[in-house]
Amino acid sequence: MEKLIISACICGAEVTKEQNPNVPYTVEEVVREAKSAYDAGAALIHLHVRWDDGTPTQSKERFQECVDAIRKECPDAIIQPSTGGAVGMTDLERLESTDITPTPEMATLDCGTCNFGGDDIFVNTDDTIVNFAKIMQEKGIKPELEVFDKGMIDTALKVADRKGLLNHPMHWDFVLGVQMTATVRDLVYMAESVPAGSTWTATGIGKTAWDIAAATIAMGGHVRVGFEDNLYLSKGVLAKSNGEMVAKAVEIAKLLGRPVATPAEAREILGLAPLK
Amino acid sequence: MEKLIISACICGAEVTKEQNPNVPYTVEEVVREAKSAYDAGAALIHLHVRWDDGTPTQSKERFQECVDAIRKECPDAIIQPSTGGAVGMTDLERLESTDITPTPEMATLDCGTCNFGGDDIFVNTDDTIVNFAKIMQEKGIKPELEVFDKGMIDTALKVADRKGLLNHPMHWDFVLGVQMTATVRDLVYMAESVPAGSTWTATGIGKTAWDIAAATIAMGGHVRVGFEDNLYLSKGVLAKSNGEMVAKAVEIAKLLGRPVATPAEAREILGLAPLK
Amino acid sequence: MEKLIISACICGAEVTKEQNPNVPYTVEEVVREAKSAYDAGAALIHLHVRWDDGTPTQSKERFQECVDAIRKECPDAIIQPSTGGAVGMTDLERLESTDITPTPEMATLDCGTCNFGGDDIFVNTDDTIVNFAKIMQEKGIKPELEVFDKGMIDTALKVADRKGLLNHPMHWDFVLGVQMTATVRDLVYMAESVPAGSTWTATGIGKTAWDIAAATIAMGGHVRVGFEDNLYLSKGVLAKSNGEMVAKAVEIAKLLGRPVATPAEAREILGLAPLK
Amino acid sequence: MEKLIISACICGAEVTKEQNPNVPYTVEEVVREAKSAYDAGAALIHLHVRWDDGTPTQSKERFQECVDAIRKECPDAIIQPSTGGAVGMTDLERLESTDITPTPEMATLDCGTCNFGGDDIFVNTDDTIVNFAKIMQEKGIKPELEVFDKGMIDTALKVADRKGLLNHPMHWDFVLGVQMTATVRDLVYMAESVPAGSTWTATGIGKTAWDIAAATIAMGGHVRVGFEDNLYLSKGVLAKSNGEMVAKAVEIAKLLGRPVATPAEAREILGLAPLK
Ligand SMILES: [Mg+2]
Ligand SMILES: [Mg+2]
Ligand SMILES: [Zn+2]
Ligand SMILES: [Zn+2]
Ligand SMILES: [Zn+2]
Ligand SMILES: [Zn+2]
């Protein structure tokens, strides 16, 4: 079984300090959270950024500032900007996060449209998927294909892969608990639905986080934890940092005998070039 | 195994006479297609309506006119208006099809948002699902819960069933080949994902129609065929009528030893009151 | 989707003329049944033989006589002797069927032990599996890996494939309704459990035959029908010949738009050398 | 989610002191191991017994002696004798373990025949299953239905449940890694294959033990650990006691937020009468 890549989704676009005071907004806070995760064993930082008041932004400048600051403290981490942005942003806004220097090694690419509660929808039309895939391919960015349901895997294959816009092997992120429920059964179904040779990460939203992490580690997948997906270390106990959550994932991995990948090992598993 | 309910989706909102000249637009054409399906063995007519030029509409008046005309030729068919409408309609417009007299026994209820190609999305927010469920429950209309992906089942359960807005046992329609692929594997996964006691219908879009129909008949599910989902009787052969497609489903059922339900038997299977 | 290989299991070791008078015992009867199946579209004859009183035998001489006689009437059929034999036979007896001239292109290889009702068990120890695999590999016989449960696939991979005794791609036969139930769900699980690149045939014992055949055709698998597995053409109607059953499989394939493979096409699909 | 029942299979019939010196043979050793497991959190002791030289036996006297001695140290544990015995024993010998006083609350019932390596098979014919089920039902013993493959679930339902010989809800034990592989995918398939309302325990043989335990805890199943199934606490580290293994299962459960059941709670979950 491959070593375990732990991704830390340290910030997200929607969680707030009201929910957990350790959610980072400022550059300093973002760096603090990234470093805590990196020190605990995360090889990859999945990054959203905010303005100092917490408003989510895809601003190129803000991403540049945060990435540069993280880089100093986490010298070899894989830093993966989100292109998901927040509900309501245009495609062009969302792609700004990939315009930083140097070009990111990876970025997320959402593979379909789904409900986000109430009257909100998270829109990723087929055209958006195609455009994002094309641009990432041109820039040499490896997409992390974010899927919230089984048919989003099929959508990515139908609208982008069939046109040659996705390089193989692909890397997927199964986000469970938004549209598809976060059960081990669903997790297995997703893992069985991606093309042979793919790597995949999984995350369970909210209280399902640790069950999904444990099952994923047992299955040979990779794990994402962090404030974006879950604010609690255990029932009723708010996490003090993303690092605490990464440490918990490391502890589960240790119990299951699965070694944790360094950033260099993670790059090898993901087919990324070594960091210069 | 229960008898087989065959639903005929005779018209749809998007297929055109350019694709198959037998697609019905006028009231007369709609009746012709409904009757051909009914005579061939369909117990249920899933109904969209159009203006004479083919434009889809949810107009209460047009639905009333079509349902009344169908009723004369198909005296005991279950007539199930769509509330899906077409891309771009408001919720209120979409619900007009249920305002006819007498109140329909069933209507479709779409359980999530997904892509419809290019820049189109088919929007059914959580709020829409809740509202549609509430209104159908109040009016005594049994919803056919249309789902295009596994997580849409989960969405229906989370946003509507948990609030008591869906009566049990539920009836589902698995529409495969839009977002989720139309494979037997997916079909089995869907069938295993609905609450115990549910009944379900499946349909495969386009050329997958007959494979999905055959597997569904073998599994004990119910089958939907018709111009809305597929225009061909076999490769390269346009269907001359919805009746031809229903007849083909009946032929498969006969080969597999599964008797076809009359409208009265279908009502019993679906838990609908007998027709007065 | 590949063309459909139809295998006819014309005789078996356990069914009797008391159950269906058309079960073949004599050489003439065996030829009659093989020819009826071949003429109807079977590319492969799966062969057990009997003495004239119906007793099953693995006698090399009887196999030779039957194969030679079938060959005259079915010049290019793939003739696949069983090595399953009947409950109680030794391994050496069971392998006699492969000692005929010319060496058979294929033979069955049972991949585990299971109950056969009452106090009967069908014994295929790990050692037996290894020996059969080794001998077939040496003789250039392609095994049809017969499995009655999911774990028998795992057994074949663990005890024989891991030692290099099974050439790739493999060909499997899922026999459903003996130990594992014959449901479409089980069928899908089996098909998803064989190594990538494998081909597979499925059969449902008894009244499940046609449901399993239809789902298999829809899935892209290959189909086995015949007296060994099922004696009825439809409920209460005994099949008059194996040919009648093959014709029914052909009819389902036609409805689902799946062309039937000739023996030459079947050899190509199975990776067998063309017949000289 | 129900509390977690941890079963300790402290001894087994086949593992030896040569493999791990802590495997218990004598009565004192058996008690030592049972107590270590009980103290660590096991609610249920799954029991095989041996003679002092390690030879497995189903001797009523030996079972009586061991159960009495365990009862003193583990006053409220559920003690579940095995009726599996060892390869080669007769049915009558195997059932002696249930003749002790008081009658055991539970006993295992193996639901099919499978290979045990080399030329060994573990024989449980359909007749054996029926007889064991009948006797346990008469004696008021709740069977733990041990299954090594999916079709063994089907066998139990077909040969025993259909005849009314198994009380509902049933309790199952999925033993993975003997015939069926020990993957999370297989585990999910098994869990989805038992009748609604069933409870189930799972165990992965050998190095798969902890992955299966973690996935099971995440899924809401119950866990079996102990020397019978696995001798190592982690890679290369022999377990010093069954208690060490139970403690590790407890640790995983704690990380996943799943409380561990006391014996009294386990009896309630399993539908056993409270201990007098
Ligand atoms: Mg969607
Ligand atoms: Mg077996
Ligand atoms: Zn994100
Ligand atoms: Zn419709
Ligand atoms: Zn055979
Ligand atoms: Zn045991």
- Kindly list the partner chains of chain D, i.e. chains with 3 or more CB atom pairs below 8 Å: A, C
- Find residue B57's DSSP bridge partners: B49
ipTM score here?
Answer: 0.97
Q: C-alpha distances in angstroms, D203 versus A47, D4, D184, D221?
A: 39, 14, 11, 10
- Structural domain span for residue D16: 6-270
* pLDDT for res C276: 83
Q: How far is D190 from chain A (nearest CA, A)?
A: 11
pLDDT tens, residue by residue, A180-232 = 999 999 999 999 999 999 999 999 999 999 999 999 999 999 999 999 999 99
Q: Dihedral sign, CA of A228, A231, A232, A238?
A: positive
Q: Say what the alpha-carbon torsion angle C94, C96, C101, C107 is, to the nearest 10 degrees.
A: 10
Task: Give me the number of domains chain A comprises.
Answer: 1
The one-letter code for the residue type at C240 is K
Distance between start and end Cα atoms, chain C: 27
Give the nearest partner residue to B127 out of A119, A123, A152, using CB atoms: A119
HSE toward the beta carbon, residue C62, CA cutoff 13 A: 23
Where residue D176 falls among pLDDT bands split at 50, 70, 90? very high
How is residue B30 written in tokens? 């709609």
For residue C89, pLDDT over 90 is answered with: no
For residue C203, pLDDT over 90 is answered with: yes
- Kindly list the partner chains of chain C, i.e. chains with 3 or more CB atom pairs below 8 Å: B, D
pLDDT tens, residue by residue, A31-67 = 999 999 999 999 999 999 999 999 999 999 999 999 9
∠ Cα B99 B100 B105 (to 5°): 90
C191 neighbourhood in chain B, CB within 8 Å: 185
Note the helical H segments in B10-143.
Answer: 27-40, 60-73, 91-95, 126-139
Residue B276 included in any domain: no
What share of chain D in percent tops pLDDT 90?
A: 97
Closest residue in D to C151 (Cα) is: D180
Confirm or reject contact between A175 and chain D (CB < 8 A).
no
pLDDT tens, residue by residue, A135-157 = 999 999 999 999 999 999 999 99
* pLDDT for res B85: 83
* pLDDT for res B269: 98
Residue A224 included in any domain: yes
* CATH number of the domain to which B226 belongs: 3.20.20.70
The residue-averaged pLDDT of C243-270 equals 98
Contact partners, residue B166, CB within 8 Å, separation at least 6 = B133, B137, B143, B145, B156, B160
Calculate how far, in angstroms, residue B113's C-alpha sits from the geometric centre of ligand 1. 4
Where residue C125 falls among pLDDT bands split at 50, 70, 90? very high
Residue C276 included in any domain: no
Distance CA B110, CA D84 (A): 52
Helices (H) and strands (E) in chain C, counts: 9, 14
* pLDDT for res C255: 98
Closest residue in B to A91 (Cα) is: B119
Residue A275 included in any domain: no
For residue D87, pLDDT over 80 is answered with: no
* pLDDT for res D221: 98
What secondary structure letter does DSSP report for B77? -
Residue A147 CA: which ligand is closest? 1
For residue A14, pLDDT over 80 is answered with: yes
The residue-averaged pLDDT of D112-122 equals 96
Mean pLDDT, chain D, rounded, equals: 97
- Find residue B239's DSSP bridge partners: none
Q: How far is C266 from chain B (nearest CA, A)?
A: 22
* pLDDT for res C65: 98
Distance CA D88, CA B169 (A): 50
Residue C1 included in any domain: no
Closest residue in A to D184 (Cα) is: A219
The one-letter code for the residue type at D44 is L
Contact partners, residue D112, CB within 8 Å, separation at least 6 = C114, C115, C179, D124, D129, D147, D148, D149, D151, D152, D155, D156
Distance CA C221, CA C199 (A): 7
* pLDDT for res D3: 98
* pLDDT for res A176: 98
Where residue B270 falls among pLDDT bands split at 50, 70, 90? very high
Q: How far is D130 from chain C (nearest CA, A)?
A: 9
Residue A155 included in any domain: yes
* pLDDT for res A86: 77
Mean pLDDT, chain A, rounded, equals: 97
Which secondary-structure segment (H or E) carries C9? strand C6-9
Confirm or reject contact between A19 and chain B (CB < 8 A).
no
**Other CB atoms within 10 Å distance of the CB of residue B162:** 10
Where residue A87 falls among pLDDT bands split at 50, 70, 90? confident
For residue B12, pLDDT over 80 is answered with: yes
Which secondary-structure segment (H or E) carries C93? helix C91-95
Residue C238 included in any domain: yes
Residue D275 included in any domain: no
What share of chain B in percent tops pLDDT 90?
A: 97
For residue C199, pLDDT over 90 is answered with: yes
* pLDDT for res C86: 77
* pLDDT for res C183: 98
Distance CA B254, CA B3 (A): 11
For residue A88, pLDDT over 90 is answered with: no
- Interface probe for C, chosen from B181, B185, B186, B254 (most Cβ of C below 10 Å), is B185
* pLDDT for res C233: 98
Instruction: Specify the 3-state DSSP secondary structure of A130.
Output: helix
pLDDT tens, residue by residue, C7-50 = 999 999 999 999 999 999 999 999 999 999 999 999 999 999 99
pLDDT tens, residue by residue, C56-70 = 999 999 999 999 999
For residue A130, pLDDT over 80 is answered with: yes
